[in-house]
Structure 1
Amino acid sequence: MTLAQTAPRSAHRPDRVGRPLRILAWASFVAEVVIIGTGGAVRLTGSGLGCTEWPLCTPDSLVPLQAQGIHGLIEFGNRLMTGVVGIIALAVLLLTIAAFAGRRLVTRALWFAAGGIVLGVGAYVVANPVGLGAFGFSSALLLAVLAAMVDSVRRTERRRDLIVLAWIVLAGVMAQAVVGGLAVVSDLNAFVVGFHYTASLLLVCVTAAYLVRLAAVPGPRERAVPSWFAMLAHVTTLALAATILFGVLTTSNGPHSGDEDVIRNGFDATFLAHVHAWPGYILAALVAVLTVLAWARRLPVRRWLLVLVAAVAVQIVVGVWQAREGLPELLVGIHMVLASLSAAAMTVVILNLKAPIGVLSAPSTDDASTVVS
């Protein structure tokens, strides 16, 4: 008798969660994608220094003044979007803790937050004389969030995966705000700006992973595809990561520096554009092979691979188009957003390489019964 035959019927069902959590989880994913678009708009319109200070926009004002013009409004709008993303991430976290760990742990998390604010005020007082008050406050609050995450995970027995993912998103948004401030005070250092985008893309992947796990049956998981297929999928992930990495380097050294007075003197952007294309074509070939094999063997990831095929195909078309047209701002922005959607689709494919024990009625191969917790 197999595990699928002995598993109770209730073990084949995902946890029931309230509609508000599901809606907010989707809102968190959408918001992370949108902020990549607004961040791209800041850079592509030359508004990276539209607000010359952080967290204030000017030395004397939180909001942009008339002298900042449209660039100040665009930069400040992206900062406001960071606040929206953070509020949604916090709501998802608190609802997740309440649903799977109880209100007592919600209260503990809020106490950690209060302690972090007190610690942040102290750090601000110490660091402000050297002009780092805002960074001191943010760093102290981030440390409190990390401490609260460890405490919540240690005290939780159900759905630790969801709680960890929700904490990562909140901590990531807070860290992103600090990195954004560093980008401003460093006069749009190419590596800081590139890291800022990469971290945003990773948060898109984490929110996508949360959605997948929220809809999944909890518990130990078994491989749902042959081992060779799983290995090929992970190689494809590496090709995607390489494509994105070289894309970030290319854009960082291209004409869209974020401000007309910032001149890049790093890598050769023309050469990097060709290097960026090579792993991109390898990625397209690997995704095509995976999709054909998945449909030929009727593997459970086949429909999500179609989504990945569409995302990568459109991404390649836009990439070639923008290169031939001299990198127009709109196409570069679309290319940036599509990269995050491609990464999110790849994340969903990888997570669906395994399924909860007992859900698969018949493994695709003999080695598909290998149990992985």
Structure 2
Amino acid sequence: MRRIRSVKRSVRFPVSATLLRRLALASIIANVAIVVTGGAVRLTASGLGCPTWPRCTDASYTTTQEMGVHGVIEFGNRLLTFAVGLIALAVVVGVLLHGARRRELLPLAVAVLFGIPLQAVIGGITVLTNLNPWVVGLHFLASMVVIAAAYALWRRVGEPDGPVVPTVPGPLRALALVTTVVSAAVLVIGTWVTGSGPHAGDHGAARNGLDPEAISQVHADGVFLLVGLSVALVFAFRAVGARRAERAAVVLVAVELGQGVIGFVQYFTHLPAVLVGAHMLGSCLVLLATLAVQWSTRERRPVQADREAATPPAEVPVPVGA
């Protein structure tokens, strides 16, 4: 009997780093997707397709035929939250079964898992406040935080164990951090622009009262600053021979330019829904590219490599008479 119990205790279902990283990547993709579908809810004026929360109507948790296509779109986005949550739960289970590094990875995985229902609650508050533009903006920014945590988990799973070592000089790490802060500020100001524009999510929803032209100009100025800092990072990383960081900065500049083109075209074409949706996807890509640059300024050195570097070379015996 003891032997059977010991065998049962020894049974494990280990999750490889490769599988765990794929799950973490799936979590990133799912959270980006729900941002895009949430944008579709607003851009189709379906924000109040389910006029209450957590129920869809006072009498039903699901959409009804009388609510039409707007109810289907809003309810479909709510259902997608469960799918995103299941992926996050799978990541947490994968971390627990991964074994040795679960203490290090578990906080990030749990943060993503609990961030999803928190984001859903904020979404519910947007419905209960009749799509208050400030709450809608907070709903979007909460998704950005969850995406950032999911990205951090994905990168950490792919790294070896060991101490963090900078790959660029201190001033360039500071410049990368400033770029990250400006990128976050641009995202925040972007929600103010959205809150002042025509796509309220419902024809009767209020706007934030900011002048659309003035706040759009502030947003554009922030984008110009962000692009300038990113271009500076490209040349600075190249000057110190940090090739990995340079490639990440080049990708960031390319994403920013693409996002900028979409932004300008949508502004001068009076904000067509398709371009606004593409701009929301671009916001997620800018965030991910910015985080990639931040990550490229450091690396983890394998513990084994550190030990080998610290071990003095073995003495070579000198032949007698040499």
Alignment TM class, shorter chain as reference: 0.7 to 0.9
1:301 corresponds to: 245
1:194 aligns with 2:134: no
Tell me, yes or no, if the aligned pair for 1:96 and 1:166 is still in contact at 8 Å.
Answer: yes
1:162 aligns with 2:105: yes
In 2, the alpha carbon distance for the partners of 1:68 and 1:24 equals 36
Question: What residue identity is the alignment partner of 1:160?
Answer: R
Q: Residues 82-119 of structure 1, C-alpha deviation per residue, up to 9 Å, x if partnerless?
A: 11100000010111022136xxxxxxxxxxxxxxxxxx
Instruction: State how far apart, in whole Å, the 1-side matches of 2:262 and 2:154 are.
Output: 28
1:338 and 1:51 map into 2 onto residues whose CA distance is 27
Q: Please give the residue correspondences for 1:239-250 in structure 2 after superposition, counting only pairs within 5 Å.
A: 239-250=182-193
Q: 2:165–2:301: 8 Å Cα contact kept in structure 1? A: yes
Match of 1:336 among 280, 289, 305: 280
Alignment of 1:91-130 (within 5 A): 91-100=90-99
The number of residue pairs the alignment matches comes to: 290
Give the aligned partner of residue 43 of structure 1: 42
* Pick aligned residue for 2:168 from 203, 209, 225: 225
Alignment check: 8 A CA contact 2:186 2:222 kept: yes
2:42, 2:201 within 8 Å by CA — same for their partners in 1? yes
The one of 257, 263, 270 equivalent to 1:319 is 263
Aligned to 2:22: 23
Cα distance, 1:260 vs structure 2? 0.5
Asked whether 1:68 is paired with 2:12, we answer no
Post-superposition Cα deviations, 1:150-202, rounded to whole Å, max 9, x if no partner, equal xxxxxxxx353421110110010010111111111111111111000001112
The answer to whether the Cα contact below 8 Å between 1:32 and 1:85 also exists between their aligned partners in 2 is yes
Tell me if the contact between 1:100 and 1:159 (Cα under 8 Å) persists in the aligned partners: yes
TM-score where L is the length of structure 2: 0.86
Name which of 289, 305, 311 aligns with 1:345: 289
* Counterparts of 1:174 and 1:337, CA distance in 2: 21
Question: Which of 208, 220, 233 is the equivalent residue of 1:290?
Answer: 233
The C-alpha deviation readout for 1:117-167, integer Å capped at 9, x for no partner, is xxxxxxxxxxxxxxxxxxxxxxxxxxxxxxxxxxxxxxxxx3534211101
Task: Please tell me the residue identity of whatever aligns with 2:51.
Answer: T
What do residues 251-272 of structure 1 show as CA deviations (whole Å, max 9, x unaligned)? 0121111100113152112210
Q: Which moved more, 1:54-63 or 1:78-87?
A: 54-63
Give the SS at the match of 1:355.
strand
Q: Deviations over 1:32-63 (max 9, x none)?
A: 11001000001111100000121211111221
Q: How far apart in 2 are the matches of 1:355 and 1:263? A: 47
Find the aligned partners of 1:191 and 1:201 in 2 and give their Cα distance.
15
Shift of 1:249: 0.7
Judge conservation of contact 2:133–2:206 (CA < 8 Å) in 1: no
The farther-off stretch of 313-322 and 57-66 is: 57-66
What is the TM-score with the length of structure 1 in the denominator? 0.74
Match for 1:172: what amino acid?
G
Q: Which amino acid aligns with 1:31?
A: A
Q: Secondary structure at the match of 2:46?
A: coil
Q: Computing the radius of gyration over CA atoms, which structure comes out larger, 1 or 2?
A: 2
Work out whether residues 230 and 252 of structure 2, in 8 Å CA contact, stay in contact via their aligned partners in 1: yes
Task: Choose 298-307 or 31-40, whichever is displaced more.
Answer: 298-307
Q: RMSD in angstroms over aligned alpha carbons?
A: 1.8
Q: Could you tell me which runs of 5 or more consecutive residues in structure 1 were left unpaired when the two chains were aligned.
A: 1-15, 102-157, 362-373
1:20 Cα deviation from its structure 2 partner: 3.3
Helix, strand or coil: the match of 2:165? strand
AA aligned to 1:68 is M
SS in structure 1 at match of 2:52: coil
Counterpart of 2:53 in structure 1 is 54
Q: Is the 8 A contact 2:122 2:135 kept in 1?
A: yes
Whether the 8 Å contact between 1:209 and 1:348 is mirrored in structure 2 is no
